[in-house]
A and B are shown apart, each in its own frame.
Chain A
Amino acid sequence: MSDPGEALASAKAAADRIIRAKRLNACLTPPKELRQSLTKQAQAAHPSGVLYGMPVAIKDNICTLEFTTTCGSKILEGYRSPYEATAVAKLKAAGALITGKTNCDEFGMGSSTEHSAYGRALHPFDKTRVPGGSSGGSAALVAAGAVPAGLGSETGGSVRQPASFCGIVGIKPTYGRVSRYGLVAFGSSLDQIGVFGRSVHDAARVLSVISGRDPKDSTCEARDSLRLPTVPESLQGFVIGVPKEYFPPDLAPAVRRACDRAIRLLKELGAAVREVSLPHTQYAVPTYYIIAPAEASSNLARYDGARYGPRFNGALDMRALYRSTRGEGFGPEVRRRILVGTYVLSSGYYDAYYRRAQQMRALIAQDFRNVFDRGVDLLFTPTTPTPAFKAGEKLADPVAMYLSDIFVVTANLAGLPAMSLPIGRVKGLPIGGQLIGQAFLEDEMIEAAYALERVVPAAGDA
């Protein structure tokens, strides 16, 4: 596509599709604003860009100049960022069209997109179920065919889990591969921008564009953009590890069957598959739910009614202003995590919780190093223990909700690249398989995904 007329047509068609998908409550941008912006963007887009005319939806915790950035929170209602994320600037420079902001769990805290101040997002194939979270809006729009790709963010699996639930591809790059500049901070040592695509190729080429060095983010590695691998004929020479801890006895039978089939296909493609052990896996969720809330309690201290968003007025002094703004502006899950984070960092509890969690994080990262040092190139696991669950099913029990991330948080804790791709269905609901790679070797992971995607019956029953 290089004719400006084609970009305009693409923009109009994308707006029509997003507006038709309104029942999903996946896009937070009002239709009129979306149409107006897309027309302007199509006229300004660079025809020589590698993503020229490609519509890309953006999670609402990634700053854009075109649209508000609310993070799914009342405390940032109407907030318009005075700068844009580096990832968004790179997409625009490549000619992509920013097709509005997508619904998410407030500040990325949740696994179902039910914790949004703007209402829950719906699963694209079953409205009684959740699309996953926290990047559920982007995942639902891509799965519904409204856009070919979207950006999400991951702190603990928030791209891969919704990708798995919605039957699309989701990639979390290595920590430091993509700039975090303009990604609203939740857990700074864990946060990364990730991508969704309807195919491995769509997701990979968007990742390739947004990756690479950025002087505005000191945690972003000074490396060139990701090189896109070619589709391999076979996986001869690849050693793929299957960690036994990711196949517990209570794994949903259909998920186990889909994974067994995918492993058989990986072998048929020529990969050597061997069982491996990551012995500290069972402690990953509790470790994550100490470190992430601790970092969140610090990062979210800036929302106090003085500088951003709405102020909940009537306070007589400064501290009352802080407390009333934060008390009214944050939703229940964010309040819970701020309180847990403050608790684990407080005097008398720091050593027992936060310090111990940091030690555990080191052990979890060491588990991965041990396996990769023994010649394993990639790991294959289920992405989630079950397909998409019913809306409301886990709302009353935060720990049950947290456990739905059991197979995805490890890659965030260890800073590794990982991705989910569809490997089958059960009763119409998608099942995802996860590949975890070595740091900065996304190309190997994507290569294996290309090969598996070609042979796995993603739409077939497991």
Chain B
Amino acid sequence: MSVTREEVLKIARLAELDVDEDTLPVLTEQMSRILEFVAQIGAVPASETAKPFVPGPDAVRFRPDEVRPWPLAFGPSELAPAFRSGFFLVPKLGQFEEDG
């Protein structure tokens, strides 16, 4: 299953990732190679009989719903690139483009 340059650009938009024009040909070739490689599992007849594999405990355990002290050593103002008065500062939302 090979992908085209346009498909890589479309997927990059979905993944919110800028892709450098210079690296696009190599990236397209490598993605095609990876997708061809992983597509080999399609050759095995689909099985609905194997017991689905779910790692970890059989049921999700919940913590008690209690208000507890702030568990962090320091707050988001020390983590975020821009933070003021309890809010993360970001640019305006802008025009939401169609990826269709």
> Is A326 a contact of B34 with CB atoms below 8 Å?
no
- CB closest residue in chain B, given A284: B41
Indicate if the CB atoms of B90 and A283 lie closer than 8 Å. no
Q: Is the interface of A mostly helix, strand, loop or mixed?
A: helix
In the complex, the answer to whether B53 meets A414 with C-beta atoms within 8 Å is yes
Contacts of B61 in A (CB 8 A): 215, 218, 222
Which residues in window 48-94 of B have CB below 8 A to A?
48, 50-53, 55-57, 60-63, 71-76, 78-82, 88, 90-94
Are the CB atoms of A289 and B91 closer together than 8 Å? no
Residues from chain A with a CB closer than 8 A to the CB of B79 are 79-80, 82, 307-308
Residue A317 lies at the interface, judged by CB distance under 8 Å to chain B: yes
Would you call B30 an interface residue if the criterion is a C-beta within 8 Å of the partner chain's C-beta atoms? yes
Of B33, B48, B56, B73, most A-chain CB atoms within 10 Å: B56
A87-128 with Cβ < 8 A to chain B = none
A80 to B74: give the CA distance in the assembly, Å.
Answer: 10
Given contacts A326-B17, A363-B50, contact A219 B56 (CB under 8 A): yes
User: Is A405 engaged at the interface, CB distance under 8 Å to the other chain?
Assistant: no
Query: Nearest Cβ in chain A — how far from B75, in angstroms?
Result: 7
Q: Which residues of chain A are near B27, meaning CB under 8 Å?
A: 335-336, 339
In the complex, the answer to whether B37 meets A338 with C-beta atoms within 8 Å is no
Number of residue pairs A-B, CB distance < 8 angstroms: 186
Is B73 a contact partner of A83 (Cβ separation < 8 A)?
yes
Contact with B along A304-322 (1 / 0, CB 8 A): 1111111100011111111
Q: B16 to A359, Cβ gap below 8 A?
A: no
With contacts A82-B79, A310-B81, A360-B41 known, is A342 near B14, CB below 8 A? yes
A301 and B46 alpha carbons, distance in the complex (Å): 31
- Beyond A175-B55, A318-B91, whether A304 also contacts B16 by CB under 8 A is yes
The reply to whether B94 and A297 contact each other, CB–CB distance below 8 Å, is no
Q: A82-B73, A82-B75, A306-B90 are in contact. Are A323 and B16 (CB under 8 A)?
A: yes
* Complex partner residue of B90 from A82, A318, A343, CB under 8 angstroms: A318
A contact residues vs B (CB 8 Å cutoff): 65, 79-80, 82-83, 175-176, 189-190, 215-216, 218-222, 280, 283, 286-287, 289-290, 297, 301, 304-311, 315-324, 326-328, 330, 332, 335-336, 338-340, 342-344, 346, 352-353, 356-366, 397-399, 402, 413-415
A-B contact pairs, 16 of them (CB 8 A): A215-B63, A218-B56, A287-B38, A287-B41, A289-B38, A307-B79, A315-B91, A316-B92, A317-B93, A318-B93, A326-B17, A335-B19, A336-B31, A339-B15, A356-B41, A397-B33
